[in-house]
Structure 1
Amino acid sequence: MSGAGYVAVAVGGCALGWLSAWLVLRPRRADAARQVPAPDSLEREVLRRSSTGYLVLSPQGRPLLSNPRARELGVLVGGIVDRGVLDAAERAAVSGEPVDVELEPVQPPSLTTATTPSTAPTAIRAVVQSIDDERILVAVTDESAAQRVEAVRRDFVANVSHELKTPVAAIGLLAEATLDSADDPESVRHFAGRLHSESTRLGALVTELITLSRLQGADPQADAAVVEVDAVVDEAIRRQAAAAEAAGITVVADEDSMLLVRGDRALLTMALTNLVSNAINYSPAGTQVSVSRTTSEGHVRIAVTDRGVGIAPEYTERVFERFFRVDPARSRSTGGTGLGLAIVKQVAANHGGTATVWSRPGLGSTFTLSVPNYPGADGLGAAAPSSGTPSSVHRGAA
């Protein structure tokens, strides 16, 4: 075959290859084109799924377009536009400037069954602006969460200011008294001891404030790992062994459970340590504090029970609030900051769990830390290695 024949064969082969590839890929491209929504349908789908409510009005206040969120927030109910939005639309059409409107929260029918009082909107804000001579856009947002955060922030700042003033003022007065008693060694020693106590309390308060602040802004999964519950219990009891011995309290724990959870071991240990410390501080000498572990409905529950004075029913819902103290005098005498149980609650929340309390005056209290167990590990994990049990801690039925 001549050189020209070879060239012809090569060109024919390339052409045949390109034709085959085009025939094979054309159906795939057609399928892909069919799978991508048309621009108009895509825009409508985005509008439908938006967490912001959108409503487009005519200059006469007639609704031209709306998404489900606008109806959920009560801006458009039964085809009727909220009166405040209509008034704002008139002003926006005249001025050409955006108009902010604070709307009264409503409970439209679409939220009656799906919304609980804790999630129902409490603050709704609308921004009304003119698009052109024929259309006015209303953007509606639920500001409830932001409002709650701001309220918590204000309360927190007020509480912190109040709590910090007490030890700071005490340190100032004690320092002044120490200076005035420079010629009296006995008084100097007395005031110096008080200064040390107040500075220790102030340091503990600042440390726990920092801890709580970090917990509230922390990523719960940042340091997540498989945690042995028995190791957490042993470490929490060990940390409080000296305090228990000094108070004449016996801490007992049930048998090792071999349960596993997923989370941050250091935070879980800190939370349980706070519960054990709280039980010791509020128990009379010669009594027991019990720590028990159970699993139920996919959660590991670690319960700390004391035989103290108990908590009145009207206070049980508030014990996890920051700086709340059932007995302020006793809390301060034991060095309590009023943040220990708030930290416990935040640690539980960060792990997808809860912190609860059962208490009766004269019978004692049971605080329970509940967190989801490790999937498929209902008591099947390896037992935690023992690092020694303090003399004030006993194994057995709690």
Structure 2
Amino acid sequence: MNVDFPLRQTDRATSPADRAKILSDPGFGRYFTDHMASARWTPDAGWHDHRVAALRPYSLHPGTAVLHYAQEIFEGLKAYRHADGSVWLFRPELNARRFRDSARRLALPDLDEHAFLASVEAVVRADEPWVPDHGGEESLYLRPYMFASEAFLGMRPAEEVVYAVIASPAGPYFASGVIGVTLWISTVYTRAAVGGTGPAKCGGNYAGSLAAQIEAREHGCDQVMYLDGAEVRWLEESGTMNVFLVTADGELVTPMLGTILEGVTRASVLELATDHGLRAIERQIGLDELRDGCRSGGITEAFAVGTAAVITPIVGFKGDGYEFAVGDNRPGKTTLAVREHILDIQYGRVPDKRGWLRRVV
């Protein structure tokens, strides 16, 4: 199904000089491009009013449903500039599929995957000058989202919904080189439970993580390591990222799906495992197994993966009354090799043998 997002060019575009200044040090999520894609949904008309127009603020009624019941979802993906000037997306079909699944969990209307892809591509084309030059780890971060826009306080799924895509230039996650992080293993906060919203990418999951992040920082750690909500013994996620362990006998182990987010980078790392001589395994990982494996040398490396940081080496863990290092307390060779492999594919430095890239410009 072909869906068009016609462009209505803004008459207040950022000047080339101001844009160049922003792109010289964009950070993450600090600046936004000139346009946004949008569409609206109602039960009688379905999805309609597709467009790309000037980035603008919303005017919301104080009774807008999302403000009271958090009925919303979002996605995150990036556009990458290749050496020849072309611009590409990395596995956006997986984001489109996950967006649909998240919508169903939050009782929001399905957005056709073709419409998702068309809207993202339309924003990239409209604001192509905002995609950073090839040569570093800069990219254009894309944020599709959907929220209940109906002004209604009754407890039911909203009958007016807004979908949009905004974009923000992003600098390298590790500006001064890849560093390892230490995670706080929380037994106070849990992220999700069976039947909950853990597999959905919705704002409530992230709001609920903020207190756990504060707890981690109070213990001198960079991020939190969540355990399961039922037994508080099985590894789940690291903050907003999936977790992997590398073992001495060549296994690449990650917690199985069910209550965690099905990450795009997670799926990619699993598929690349054999290229690095590893056997990919998805299963439950106990806290005792992690602690004993790191201390005995059975677990040699650990890392977390996500769209923003790609791969973040984990060099240590702390918990209530204990701490232990991973390997030699430095980013591992396999971790760095897998990270470079994914970046090489995303930026077109190696052939895309798996058909993961989608050209936009």
Higher RCO, 1 or 2 (CA under 8 Å, sep at least 6)? 2
Of Structure 1 and Structure 2, which has the larger fraction of its residues in strand? Answer: 2
Global fold match (TM > 0.5): no
Of Structure 1 and Structure 2, which has the larger fraction of its residues in helix? Answer: 1
Using structure 2 for the length normalisation, give the TM-score.
Answer: 0.23
Using structure 1 for the length normalisation, give the TM-score.
Answer: 0.21
